[in-house]
């Protein structure tokens, strides 16, 4: 507990040094009190899963660690999703590099050379999704799916389903047995995708944050 608090303090002071006092004030105001809820879907990985193709030509591949790829994803990244409030492009760029360095892998879908979809995967002892993953735990043979986003202009073309289908192929080839997806209960599209591939809600997670620090985390298993 003490080491966790020390780490949080270090992160906060680094944030202050890098972004200045005004950004820290915005961070405090935004995170004064924050409550979050997530559904945890569990999907058994089977080679006979549903195969889905997008209705427009797309190229699905892993994001590389090249500056060009990271810069392109930074420009695509929706500022209101999956990043701290008031994040700058520089902060998002750093976040992407940190996730890749931690072992996360990122599937992107491109159309005419433009990134139009992103979806993260994390693995046992190699990911940055610890604040949410910790209560449930992650076993060898399990992978995490999170932070998926599709450009609004391309929705309705089965792109998210095509990427999920591709993701399950990759995980099956690597002999993973289960995909654990963390989904906002208000994200109807993500819920529909998980159900389409026979995902079942196993846990509802609740996170309370005060001033950006996780104070209470509880979970309830769904029967």
Q: Which domains does the chain have, with CATH numbers?
A: 1-30 (no CATH), 34-221 (3.40.630.30)
Q: In the predicted model, what is the mean pLDDT of the chain?
A: 83
Q: What is the pLDDT of residue 1?
A: 45
Closest CA to 179 of 220, 133, 217: 133
Cα(16)–Cα(137) distance, integer angstroms? 32
Tokens of 15: 């944030």
Q: What is the pLDDT of residue 210?
A: 65
Q: Three-class SS of residue 29?
A: helix
Q: What is the pLDDT of residue 207?
A: 76
The pair phi, psi for residue 43, each rounded to 5°, is: -120, 120
Residue that is written with structure tokens 């944050």 in the block: 209
Strand runs labelled E in 83-212: 105-111, 114-123, 142-150, 178-183, 200-210
Least confident of 33-42, 47-56, 91-100, 190-199: 33-42
pLDDT surpassing 60 at residue 2: no
Least confident of 18-22, 155-159, 217-221: 217-221
Least confident of 5-14, 56-65, 84-93, 123-132: 5-14
Cα(107)–Cα(81) distance, integer angstroms? 17
Contact, 142 vs 177, CB < 8 A?
Answer: yes
What would the mean pLDDT of 40-49 be, rounded to a whole number? 91
Cα(104)–Cα(96) distance, integer angstroms? 9
| Dihedral sign (CA 123, 125, 127, 131) | positive
Tokens of 101: 């360095």
The two beta strands, 34-44 and 59-62, are unpaired
Contact, 74 vs 90, CB < 8 A?
Answer: no
Least confident of 4-13, 17-26, 182-191, 206-215: 4-13
pLDDT surpassing 80 at residue 120: yes
């Amino acid at each position: 507990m003490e080491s966790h608090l020390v780490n949080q303090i270090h992160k906060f002071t680094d944030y202050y040094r890098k972004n200045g006092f005004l950004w820290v004030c915005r961070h405090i105001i935004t995170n004064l009190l924050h409550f979050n809820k997530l559904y945890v879907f569990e999907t058994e990985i089977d080679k006979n899963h549903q195969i889905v193709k997008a209705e427009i030509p797309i190229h699905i591949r892993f994001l590389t660690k090249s500056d060009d790829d990271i810069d392109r994803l930074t420009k695509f990244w929706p500022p209101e999703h999956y990043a701290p409030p008031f994040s700058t492009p520089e902060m998002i760029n750093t976040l992407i590099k940190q996730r890749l360095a931690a072992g996360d892998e990122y599937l992107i879908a491109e159309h005419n050379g433009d990134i139009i979809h992103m979806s993260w995967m994390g693995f046992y002892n190699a990911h940055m999704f610890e604040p949410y993953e910790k209560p449930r735990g992650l076993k060898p043979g399990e992978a995490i799916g999170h932070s998926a986003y599709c450009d609004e202009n391309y929705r309705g073309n089965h792109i998210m389903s095509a990427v999920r289908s591709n993701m399950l192929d990759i995980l099956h080839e690597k002999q993973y047995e289960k995909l654990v997806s963390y989904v906002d209960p208000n994200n109807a599209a993500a819920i529909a995708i998980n159900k389409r591939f026979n995902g079942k809600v196993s846990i509802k997670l609740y996170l309370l944050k005060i001033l950006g620090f996780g104070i209470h985390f509880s979970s309830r298993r769904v029967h």
